[in-house]
Amino acid sequence: MFEAESEGLAALAAAGGVRVPQPVCAGQTHSHAYLVLEYLELNGGNKRAAEQLGAGLARQHRAQGNYFGWHRDNTIGSTPQTNTPHQDWVAFYRNHRLGYQLELAQRNGYGGSVQRLGEQLLAGLEAFFGSYRPVPSLLHGDLWGGNHAATRNGEPVVFDPAVYYGDREADIAMTELFGGFDARFYDAYRAAWPLDSGYAVRRQLYNLYHVLNHLNLFGGGYGGQAEHLMRALISEIRA
């Protein structure tokens, strides 16, 4: 996990979009694993930092790969995240994102309507893309409000990534899942690279991955939230 996180931070740093804490070293003792990072004194940021973060994320997304996925697997939270390279984004997202989480949910005892709705959604996944053809952008992969901040001089910083090459909309969608991003962030991002008109619907599709992951990690009300999202998405397929 720590070796993959270190490589992810290095990849984000090389893209030159948003600052990250530089990895120092990773390793293990007889009883512990560790990751040492550059120390940064952080605060909550300001309006200028929000604008810089939006513009920087757009620059990061301009760093593109030759396939969807990554050269190694990593984790999303503590859940394994499979990044087997694929040329087809829809197939990648079906097999290695939603499909994987649904299989894990089945093993964790979440069958019934979660699985029935999941099967219907996976079967109709192509309907959400139409003429939209995402390119393999370098993603942070776990960009919620707790994984960004700013240095004392106002420079935005991101950390704790789950890096892979995917549709850039997936990063933007997660910023909206739990909140924590200023409107200036979105304005700056869209000024640098406007989003496709179908994003409003695909946002739910991409956030379903994280809701299912939270179901598998924490249980509770995430099952109902996942079912609600899947019903809404299936209604889009039928419309």
pLDDT by residue (tens digit) across 6-25? 999 999 999 999 999 999 99
Domain count, the chain: 1
In a domain, residue 123? The reply is yes
Query: How confident is the model at residue 215, as a pLDDT?
Result: 98
Q: For residue 149, what pLDDT is reported?
A: 95
CB contact at 8 A, 92 and 166: yes
Question: Which residue, among 2, 14, 29, 18, has the nearest Cα to 149 in the 3D structure?
Answer: 18
Mean pLDDT for 137-163 is 96
pLDDT, one tens digit per residue, over 125-138 is 999 999 999 999 99
- How many Cα neighbours within 13 Å face the side chain of 44? 4
pLDDT surpassing 90 at residue 43: no
Task: Examine residue 158 and state whether it is found in any structural domain, yes or no.
Answer: yes
Residues noted as catalytic:
142
The pLDDT value recorded for residue 233 is 98
In a domain, 140, yes or no: yes
What percent of the chain shows pLDDT beyond 70? 100
**CATH, residue 118:** 3.90.1200.10
**pLDDT for 31:** 95
Average pLDDT over residues 145-161: 95
Query: pTM for the full model?
Result: 0.96
Instruction: Flag whether 109 is in a domain.
Output: yes
Listed range (37-41, 45-49, 209-213) with the worst mean pLDDT: 45-49
Is there a domain that residue 16 lies in?
no
| Residue 45 reports pLDDT greater than 90 | no
**Domain-located, residue 186:** yes
pLDDT digits (tens, 9 = 90+) for 69-83: 999 999 999 999 999
| pLDDT above 80 for 30 | yes
Residue 98 lies in a domain: yes
pLDDT surpassing 80 at residue 44: no
d(CA 53, CA 239): 36
Determine the pLDDT at residue 91. 98
What mean pLDDT comes out for the span 45-64? 95
- Domain that residue 136 falls in: 43-238
